[in-house]
């Protein structure tokens, strides 16, 4: 009995689809044209690679730390041995009741398992893997389902990915920026973060990280001299980054892809030149 093979390829659809051409908006939210997305937006989504690149970038900031190898050992204390009715820990000589030293469980003794400088903190990643992870994170910003899954509010956002003209980078006043973000439907997500700012539990409150703040809109500009960089960084949860400085830390905070991203037209054209390819 022969089995009939069926071609199911026309019925199989990819999990996520990214449009090749999207609209371009002005600061008032009106459509002014179309733009073809560069090939970085068509990369396959690799959450495992994005998480690995995120951990690599995060651990690269850590500085090795450790205790002095001789801490707690600078003493002439020795053990008196057995038969005296006292514990066999090293003790200081010359006193009426010799005090213990060196042992991990005594006063002024060493630590049992201190942090060591030779511990490997940085998780390394290959250059091509890191670039592929960045391309995958860029592509994930163009998928509405992933953006919603991260918790962003996109009900009023006219389009994902959202592309505006380069006038956004020339905004130098907060009032104008707020008006633009409200026109593009992004202000609700910023308010979501502002309402959930909370005080950190634990001793981190005393170490310069008192508040915990979520992530909102990522604004990608073409260059480092854009005035909007100094303005938008005052908004809760908003990050502004030049396109050449993009990393998984910005595109996928916490290693979770799909951040709500506002692309400028100039940043799209910079990507078209081949950034993060190869």
Residue 263 sits in a domain whose CATH number is 3.40.1370.10
Q: What is the pLDDT of residue 16?
A: 79
Q: What is the pLDDT of residue 19?
A: 85
Strand order in the sheet with 261-264: 31-36, 21-25, 162-164, 261-264, 218-221, 239-242
Q: What is the pLDDT of residue 12?
A: 57
- Whether residues 156 and 193 fall in one domain: yes
CA dihedral 225, 229, 230, 236 (to 10 degrees): -170
Q: Tell me, yes or no, whether 2 lies in a domain.
A: no
Residue 252: name the closest of 261, 262, 242 by CA.
Answer: 261
Q: Which domain covers residue 99, as residue numbers?
A: 72-121
Q: What is the pLDDT of residue 171?
A: 96
- Whether residues 107 and 171 fall in one domain: no
- Whether residues 127 and 258 fall in one domain: yes
- Cα distances (angstroms) measured from residue 269 to each of 54, 245, 251: 25, 15, 18
Q: What is the pLDDT of residue 97?
A: 85
- Whether residues 149 and 216 fall in one domain: yes
Q: What is the pLDDT of residue 10?
A: 63
Q: Tell me, yes or no, whether 231 lies in a domain.
A: yes
SS (H, E, C) 2-23: CCCCCCCHHHCCCCCCCCCEEE
- Whether residues 167 and 265 fall in one domain: yes
pLDDT in tens, the chain (278 residues): 555 566 766 655 567 788 899 999 999 999 999 999 999 999 999 999 999 999 999 999 999 999 998 999 999 999 999 998 989 999 998 878 889 999 998 999 999 999 999 999 999 999 999 999 999 999 999 999 999 999 999 999 999 999 999 999 999 999 999 999 999 999 999 999 999 999 999 999 999 999 999 999 999 999 999 999 999 989 999 999 999 999 999 999 999 999 999 999 999 999 999 999 97
Residues 271 and 261: beta-carbon distance below 8 Å: no
Q: How large is the angle between the packed helices 174-183 and 187-195, nearest 10 degrees?
A: 110
Spatial separation of the C-alpha atoms in residues 239 and 267, rounded to whole Å:
15
Q: What is the pLDDT of residue 6?
A: 66
Q: Tell me, yes or no, whether 236 lies in a domain.
A: yes
- Look at residue 100 and give its three-state secondary structure: strand
Q: What is the pLDDT of residue 17?
A: 81
Residues 73 and 101: beta-carbon distance below 8 Å: no
Final residue before a domain boundary, out of 121, 139, 155 = 121
In terms of C-beta density within 10 A (0-12 exposed, 13-18 middle, 19 or more buried), how is residue 218 classed? Answer: buried
Q: How many domains does the chain have?
A: 2
Residues 36 and 273: beta-carbon distance below 8 Å: no
pTM of the model: 0.86
- Whether residues 234 and 254 fall in one domain: yes
Tokens 């993060």 correspond to: 276
- Whether residues 183 and 80 fall in one domain: no
Write the Ramachandran bin of 108: left for phi over 0, alpha for psi from -120 to 50, otherwise beta: left
- Whether residues 42 and 101 fall in one domain: no
What tokens appear for 28 in the block? 């008032």
Residue 261: name the closest of 277, 278, 231, 237 by CA.
Answer: 237
- Whether residues 132 and 252 fall in one domain: yes
Q: What is the pLDDT of residue 93?
A: 87
Q: Tell me, yes or no, whether 258 lies in a domain.
A: yes
Q: Are strands 218-221 and 239-242 parallel, antiparallel or unpaired?
A: parallel
What tokens appear for 187 in the block? 């202000």
Q: What is the pLDDT of residue 48?
A: 95
- Whether residues 85 and 187 fall in one domain: no
CA dihedral 172, 236, 138, 153 (to 10 degrees): -110
Q: Tell me, yes or no, whether 204 lies in a domain.
A: no
Q: Tell me, yes or no, whether 6 lies in a domain.
A: no
Q: What is the pLDDT of residue 94?
A: 83
- Whether residues 23 and 132 fall in one domain: yes
- Whether residues 46 and 142 fall in one domain: yes
Q: Tell me, yes or no, whether 176 lies in a domain.
A: yes
Q: What is the pLDDT of residue 56?
A: 98
Q: Tell me, yes or no, whether 240 lies in a domain.
A: yes
Residues 138 and 251: beta-carbon distance below 8 Å: yes
């Amino acid at each position: 009995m022969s089995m009939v093979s069926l071609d199911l390829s026309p019925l199989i659809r990819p999990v996520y689809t990214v449009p090749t051409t999207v609209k371009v908006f002005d600061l008032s939210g009106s459509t002014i044209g179309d733009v073809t997305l560069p090939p970085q937006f068509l990369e396959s989504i690799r959450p495992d690679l994005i998480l690995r690149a995120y951990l690599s970038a995060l651990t690269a900031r850590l500085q090795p730390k450790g205790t002095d190898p001789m801490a707690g050992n600078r003493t002439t204390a020795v053990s008196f041995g057995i038969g005296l009715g006292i514990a066999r820990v090293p003790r200081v000589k010359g006193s009426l009741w010799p005090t213990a030293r060196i042992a991990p469980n005594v006063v002024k003794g060493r630590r049992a398992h201190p942090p060591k400088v030779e511990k490997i903190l940085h998780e390394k990643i290959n250059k091509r893997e890191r670039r592929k992870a960045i391309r995958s994170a860029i592509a994930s910003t163009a998928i509405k389902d992933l953006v919603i899954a991260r918790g962003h509010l996109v009900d009023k956002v006219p389009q994902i990915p959202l592309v505006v003209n380069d006038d956004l980078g020339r905004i130098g006043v907060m009032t104008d920026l707020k008006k633009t973000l409200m026109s593009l439907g992004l202000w609700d997500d910023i308010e979501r973060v502002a309402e959930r700012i909370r005080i950190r539990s634990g001793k981190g409150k005393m170490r310069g990280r008192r508040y915990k703040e979520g992530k909102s809109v990522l604004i990608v500009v073409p260059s480092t001299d854009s005035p909007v960089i100094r303005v938008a960084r005052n908004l809760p949860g908003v990050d502004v980054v030049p396109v050449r400085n993009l990393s998984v830390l910005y595109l996928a905070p916490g290693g979770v892809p799909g951040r709500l991203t506002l692309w400028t037209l100039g940043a799209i054209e910079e990507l078209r030149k081949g950034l993060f390819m190869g």
